[in-house]
Amino acid sequence: MRFVPKQIESLWTLFTAPVVWAVHFLASYLSAAVFCAKQEQLAFGFDMLRLAIATFTSVALAMIVLSAWLAWRQWGFGAHDPPHDDPTGHDRRLFQGFATLLLSGLSFVAVIYVAMPLLFVTECWR
């Protein structure tokens, strides 16, 4: 098995990083909501929740970095400049790579945004 996936021809790759963001967001929100609703029945405290979400965040960021690297490769490691509007398969791939790279950047920042409350909130205040 290859560690780094082969280049694939699909539109779906464009959505990799935002999907990672969405999964991270849902995982963070749902685990916090369930924790706060059920904390009296749980054997662990808020710090464990923070640790869990920090773990989600690290995994999510790592996946986004991988997606960004794959996008960077698809973009030819930046050897070509936009606008990538030639009617060729080559330019189409460059466009996909560049757009995916940009989305990875946005998703990276958005994941950090969503994780930041963990730095400041330390219990289930209402």
Partner 1 sequence: MTRPETASVKGRQAQAERLRAVWDNPSGWRYWTSVNNFQIGLWYGSAAFAFMLFAGVLALLMRMQLALPENNFLSADLFNQAFTLHGTVMMFLFAVPIFEAIAIFLLPPMLGARELPFPRLSAFGFWSFLIGGVFVCGSIFFNAAPSSGWFMYPPLATDKDFSGIGADIWLLGLSFIEIASIAAAIEIIVGVMKCRAPGMRINMMPLFAWYLLIVAGMILFAFPPLIAGDLLFEMQRMFDWPFFDAQRGGDPLLWQHLFWIFGHPEVYIIFLPAIALMAMIVPTFAQRPIVGYSWIVLAAVGTGFLSFGLWVHHMFTTGLPQISLAFFSAASEAVAIPTGVQIFVFIATMLAGKVILSVPMLFGTGGIAIFVIGGLTGVMVALAPFDWQAHDTYFIVAHLHYVLIGGMLFPVIAGIYYYYPLVDARKLSDHLGRLAFWQMFIGFNVAFFPMHLAGLRGMPRRVFTYPADIGWHWLNLISTVGAFIFAAGVLVVVIDVLRPKHHAPRGETNPWNAGTLEWISEPEENWGVRSIPIITSRYPLWDQKNLASEINEGRFYLPDAQEGYRETLVTSVLDAEPLQCLRVGGTSYVTIVSAASLGAVFIALTFHWWITALICGVVTCAAIIYWLWTGTAEIPEKPRKDVGLGLILPLYVSGPSSVGWWAMFITMVGDGTAFASLVFGYFFYWTIHDDFTAGLAGPGSFWPMVALALFLAAWLALLTARTLNDRGQPFAMRLSLMAALFLTAGGSAAGFMGPWSHAMAPTAHIYPAIVWILVIWMLAHAAVGLMMQVYCLARSLTGRLTDEYDMDLRNVVLYWHFLSITAVVTFAVIGLFPLAI
When asked if residue 21 is in the footprint of partner 1 (CB under 8 A), the reply is: yes
When asked if residue 68 is in the footprint of partner 1 (CB under 8 A), the reply is: no
**Residues 111 and 57 sit within 8 Å (Cβ to Cβ):** yes
Token reading at 2 = 């290859």
When asked if residue 106 is in the footprint of partner 1 (CB under 8 A), the reply is: yes
The CA–CA distances, whole Å, from 23 to 34, 40, 48, 58, 66 equal: 16, 26, 20, 13, 16
Nearest to residue 107, comparing CAs of 71, 70, 60?
60
Site residue total, partner 1 (CB under 8 A): 48
For the segment 24-53, give every residue that binds partner 1 (CB under 8 A): 25, 28-29, 32-34, 36-38, 41
When asked if residue 107 is in the footprint of partner 1 (CB under 8 A), the reply is: yes
When asked if residue 81 is in the footprint of partner 1 (CB under 8 A), the reply is: no
Beta-strand (E) ranges in the chain? none
Phi and psi at residue 102, in whole multiples of 5°?
-60, -45
As measured in angstroms, the least distance from the Cβ of 3 to partner 1 is 26
**Residues 100 and 13 sit within 8 Å (Cβ to Cβ):** yes
Our CB check for partner 1 shows the closer of 60 and 114 to be 114
Q: Using CB under 8 A as the criterion, which residues of the chain lie in contact with partner 1 when the complex forms?
A: 9-11, 14-15, 18-19, 21-22, 25, 28-29, 32-34, 36-38, 41, 82-85, 87, 89, 91-92, 94-96, 98-99, 102-103, 106-107, 109-110, 113-114, 116-118, 120-121, 124-126
